[in-house]
Amino acid sequence: MEPLTQVRILVPQHVPSSDSPARPFLPHPRRSCGATRLWRAGLSMITLFILALEWSGLSYAQVPALPLKQRAFLMGTTPLPGVSRDFLGALKLVASTGELIMYWPAHTGIGFQNDVERPMPGGGTYVDIVRRMGLEPVLNLNPWTVAPGRGIVRNDGSASSDFGAADFQRQMVREAAEAARRFHPAYFCIGNEVNSVAQMLGARAFADLIRLEQRIYRAIKTASPRTKVIVVISWSQLVDGPASPDYSLVGRVSAVCDVVGLTTYPWRRYATPDAIPPDYYRRIASYTSKPIAFTEIGWSSDRSQGGSERAQARFLVRFLELTRGMPLEFVHWAFLHDLSPAAVGGIAVQRTHLGLGLRRYDGTPKPVWQVWCNLHALPRARATTR
């Protein structure tokens, strides 16, 4: 099972009110006329850009060029704040380099609706606050969770793994329908890394889960017809494990959603980004025609695990090479900032979760941050009708 499933950033009890999201400041050269003055102004801007790279600890050698001229997909990352613990500042950074954000309330099973409806100090729900900052929250409801010492269980506080129980299904359907009716989200994820259930509990439990997902899907579409429903597969777990991949799971998931979600952390299998096979992601097209949302992607820069910041930046470029031409809905990087090594412990935060941020724990940017910013700055292509 993908350990990162259990790492979620809970919404703080207090989110200060905010004006519009922070945007990068670029000095405007003085108005001038004549080729010489224009050349000097241009040179000044180039000089400022070089200095900005130096101040951020980056270099041209560390920031690889993008393989795309435009992008049709949305972008986002989890606003992990780093050492500053400035959650609002983290949200502003996310808003300056993306359009959406994965929203994991404290309760992603039974209790979900109460959490997403809870008012925040300063006015409105967390969804309202995030939208005011220009971000669209992707709501995340998940019928399963991991209980220490028990493994995979229903996400209702019980120790049961019976996903077919009528009362549990009714409650989960109600949670989803009420949230969809209240917020009409652009995206609603109703199952995260569901192949974990198939792998750990077997075919019967997975069949019960798929039937539940189908009921949730129908309830959401009734309450909010324009909402795109996502069910997520751990791609790393499916294709990088010791057993032969069971691609039939893709088709079964595809039948109960509008968008197939994938999480991917290939650094655990491949020594370098360039070792990832050319068809690593594109092979999914043989099993579904649905658009794809990468709900979590990442490559660790943690040196103790063989990672590096240079390889992390190269991975993002390699990812774009490998997914070019695919019907991508959005790409969501794991974390804005690295986790602190001191946070490692228990089932929630493991060593493999370190080094996955676009920025270091101390708040300074990594080379991958500049690649991410460059990607966000690309012209937006018109998305094809799906």
Task: Tell me phi and psi for residue 39, to 5 degrees.
Answer: -65, -45
Please tell me the predicted confidence (pLDDT) of residue 62: 54
Whether residue 46 has pLDDT greater than 70: no
User: First vs last Cα of the chain: how many Å apart?
Assistant: 31
Identify which has the larger pLDDT, 270 or 49.
270
CATH placement of domain 63-377: 3.20.20.80
34-68 burial, b if ≥16 CB within 10 A, otherwise e?
A: eeeeeeeeeeeeeeeeeeebeeeebeeebbbebeb
Give me the pLDDT at residue 201, please.
Answer: 98
Cα 379–chain centre separation: 21
**How far apart, in whole angstroms, are the C-alpha atoms of residue 341 and residue 320?**
29
Q: How confident is the model at residue 5 (pLDDT cuts 50, 70, 90)?
A: very low
> How confident is residue 298, by pLDDT bands cut at 50, 70 and 90?
very high
Segment 203-220 shows an average pLDDT of 98
> Which secondary-structure segment (H or E) carries 314?
helix 309-323
pLDDT at site 63: 79
pLDDT of residue 315: 98
β-pairing, 187-189 vs 151-154, is unpaired
pLDDT surpasses 90 at 8: no
pLDDT category, 36, cuts 50, 70, 90? very low
Domain map (residue ranges) of the chain? 32-61, 63-377
Q: Is the pLDDT of residue 33 over 50?
A: no
CA–CA separation, 71 and 237 (whole Å): 27
pLDDT at 211 over 50: yes
- Flag whether pLDDT at 32 surpasses 70: no
Say how far apart CA 228 and CA 243 lie, in whole Å: 32
| pLDDT value, residue 217 | 98
23 has pLDDT over 70: no
- The predicted-structure confidence for 54-91, as pLDDT tens digits, reads as follows 334 445 445 789 999 999 999 999 999 999 999 999 99
Check if the beta carbon of residue 144 is closer than 8 Å to that of residue 197.
Answer: yes
| Cα 151 to Cα 93, 200, 353, distances in angstroms | 36, 8, 19
- Confidence band for 130, pLDDT divided at 50, 70 and 90: very high
How do residues 316-375 score in pLDDT, each as one tens digit? 999 999 999 999 999 999 999 999 998 888 666 788 899 999 999 999 999 999 999 999
Reported confidence tier of residue 123, pLDDT bands at 50, 70, 90: confident
How wide is the angle at C-alpha 342 spanned by C-alphas 340 and 345, nearest 5°?
A: 110
